[in-house]
Amino acid sequence: MAPDEFHLFPFLPAELRLQIWRLALSPRVVVLTQSFTSPTPPPTLLSVCHESRQESLRSLILLPQINTYFHPGTDILYYPRPVSPLGYSTPSPPADICLELITKVAVDYVSSEIRREWEVYNKYSFLKSFPNLEEGYLVINAQESSSSSSSGDGDRGNRAIELIDPRGDKEEIMGIMERVRESFCYELPAPSPVEEDGEGEKVEREEAEEEEKEKWVDGRIEYNGLELVPKAMVWGGCAGGVVGVCG
């Protein structure tokens, strides 16, 4: 049986130890609450030893308003819909959380059955407020199994979240993505008028705009500069559904 402890780690070459610390800094999902605080605990490596902390701080940034550490290259900022009757009541994040440094963002999908009049439809505007967004995710469903939900909702921020490829019915996933695409339309500005310089050129421009707004490739949708990619979410050992948005 392989040993579960390695007592010779301090005797490894320094450059090898530092590389191991860097690789051990695993991706996290950092939860952002409606009051712009975070219940997500800091990375474990910050409290292992002085060397691991120093090496981790080379990659992490401290988000001022949230007062939590964040890895711009691997961490996902997740803004879940509050359980209060108000739902999403803030259209955009505060500017002082270093929007330009965050490249991965996740928000909850809000179906038309529960959406309030004041809620932004699917947080398209929220996602676009991050100028360097590379990956984003729309969480479709975050239901938990009875084994993990018995501990209550208060410790959700202390549980790991992972995004995996979905195993659901393909037609159902495509239906969800179509509803998401339609809901995004409500957040887009009205199209600019086309100059009347020839009916043929006008038709070509309109067709080009439609092709740019919506492209279906292998179950993905490219919509107005964002690429939607279906994903599934595992949260605290429980499966749910997610749709990813990559810009």
Average pLDDT score over residue span 198-220? 53
Residue 204 lies in a domain: no
Looking at per-residue confidence, does 131 or 51 come out higher? 51
* Cα separation, 88 vs 183, whole angstroms: 15
The average pLDDT across 104-131 equals: 76
Tokens of 201: 């050129």
- pTM equals 0.73
Looking at the structure of the chain, the number of domains it has is 1
- What is the spatial distance between Cα 2 and Cα 235, in angstroms, rounded to a whole number? 30
Is 225 domain-assigned? yes
Structural domain includes residue 198:
no
* 195 domain residue, yes or no: no
Residue 1 lies in a domain: no
DSSP state of 195: P
**205, part of any domain:** no
On the question of pLDDT at 149 being above 50, the answer is no
| Percent residues over pLDDT 90 in the chain | 15
On whether residue 199 sits in a domain, the answer given is no
Encoded tokens for 3: 């040993």
Q: Please indicate, yes or no, if residue 200 is contained in any of the structural domains.
A: no
For the chain, the average pLDDT equals 72
Q: What one-letter code names the amino acid at 116?
A: R
pLDDT, one tens digit per residue, over 29-46 is 888 887 778 888 889 999
* Residue-number span of the structural domain to which 228 is assigned: 9-187+214-246
Q: What percent of the chain has pLDDT over 70?
A: 57
